[in-house]
Amino acid sequence: MANIQERRDKHGKLISYSIRVHRGRGPDGKQLKPYTATFEVSPTWTEKSARKKAEAFAATFEEKCKTGISSDCRLTFQQYTEYVLELKERRGDKHTTLADYKTMTPRIFSAIGPIKLRDLRPAHLNDFYAELAKEGANKRTGGKLSNTTILRYHRLISIVLSQAVKEGLIAINPASRAEPPKADKKDPNYIQAETIPLIFEALKTEPIMWQALVNLLFITGCRRGEILGLKWQNVDLDNYRLYICNTISYTSDRGIYESTPKTKSSVRYISIPAETTQMLRQYKLWQTEEILRLGTYYQRNDYLFSQDNGQPMRPDSVTQWLSKFSRRHRLPHLNPHAFRHTMTSMLIFGGMDTVSVSKRLGHSQVSTTTDIYAHTIAEADRRNADLLGEILLKRAL
């Protein structure tokens, strides 16, 4: 049973009760520090009434302690966030994800970092999100932060507080009751059909390495890091397929490094057409001759696409080259993800089922594919309806 002790001021007036719940002994046999809580007494209560209320509070507090939901947590949000990020790092979470989280923590800590976990309320979070939505919050442009960016802050806060609930430090995740902004709904960036032949025509004047790289972006729909992580040992030209099992990433603290793909589902085989296979054969011959020419300057790492010395390329270099390429040939602005979206839309309009599309993209869930490409799927369905009407109805009339 919880221990209840009165606390009185120097005049003998009852002001609060100290609640202590015994925790037993640890593995070493030593007495564990008890759970503690303070129950404040209202000046308007009688001592008899105050005692009854304190006993009821103590019973509830003791039950929470037994079920692992103790309010005896003096950790601040900043202290606990640092612990959670360290925990995720030890657990092997993606370094790029953790690096992204750490770029967000200074702004979060300045707003809610000193608040104790047990005292954090949805209103604190709502006030923080409101500040992020004000002019000047975006340090680069001087404007507001987008809803998408604010939601990134919200998700990190929610992850931290979910862990606190899991560990029994708080009963409810305040982030689940907060009011973050709605996500900015943007249609995927597609390359228009009339632009595609112009791109391939322009590529004929570019180095063969970039011809092969852009060809793979188009055909595979891979992320840029996945393309840069490709090694020849994972390219099966005889069976027309690639094995995606590496990715190249960059963070300011690590520089360029090789890692595993985004999720387990991102490790996958991707079939490629004969035309792409033929291009890769030509490119491999060129690369072999180039490696022999460079001699010891070239470090053999087996990458399809690398820097001049054989070291992996920084992912941003693909984005930068495409931007210069599009300006050089007076094409609409191109970015690596536009090729991924374009391939997906072509497959959907071509009749491929969403499960197969999702596997090719490396999405962990089919729902991710249907959410991102909902507009494309709906448009393809309308075209199919028109086609059915043409075949079944108009011809019958």
The whole-model pTM stands at: 0.71
- Answer whether 281's CB lies under 8 Å from 237's CB: yes
Residues facing 35 on adjacent strands: 21
The Cα diameter of the chain in Å comes to: 99
Joined together, the tokens standing for residue 362 give: 């490396």
Is 193-379 CATH 3.30.360.10?
A: no
For the chain, 397 residues long, give each residue's pLDDT as a single digit of tens: 788 999 999 889 999 998 888 877 766 677 777 777 788 888 889 999 999 998 988 888 787 776 655 555 678 999 999 989 998 998 888 899 999 999 999 999 999 999 998 889 999 999 999 999 999 999 888 899 999 999 999 999 999 999 988 877 787 899 999 999 988 777 678 899 899 999 999 999 999 999 999 999 999 999 999 999 999 999 999 999 999 999 999 998 899 999 988 888 899 999 999 999 999 999 999 999 999 999 999 999 999 999 999 999 999 999 999 999 999 999 999 999 999 999 998 998 888 889 999 999 999 888 888 888 887 888 877 776 776 666 666 555 5
For the chain, the three-class secondary structure string (H helix, E strand, C coil) is CCEEEEEECCCCCEEEEEEEECCCECCCCCECCCEEEEEECCCCCCHHHHHHHHHHHHHHHHHHHHCCCCCCCCCEHHHHHHHHHHHHHHHCCCHHHHHHHHHHHHHHHHHHCCCEHHHCCHHHHHHHHHHHCCCCCCCCCCCCCCHHHHHHHHHHHHHHHHHHHHCCCCCCCHHHHCCCCCCCCCCCCCCCHHHHHHHHHHHCCCCHHHHHHHHHHHHHCCCHHHHHCCEHHHEECCCCEEEECCEEEEECCCEEEEECCCCHHHCEEEECCHHHHHHHHHHHHHHHHHHHHHHHHCCCCCECCECCCCCECCHHHHHHHHHHHHHHCCCCCCCHHHHHHHHHHHHHHCCCCHHHHHHHHCCCCHHHHHHHCHHHHHHHHHHHHHHHHHHHHHCCC
Looking at domain 77-177, its CATH architecture is Orthogonal Bundle (1.10)
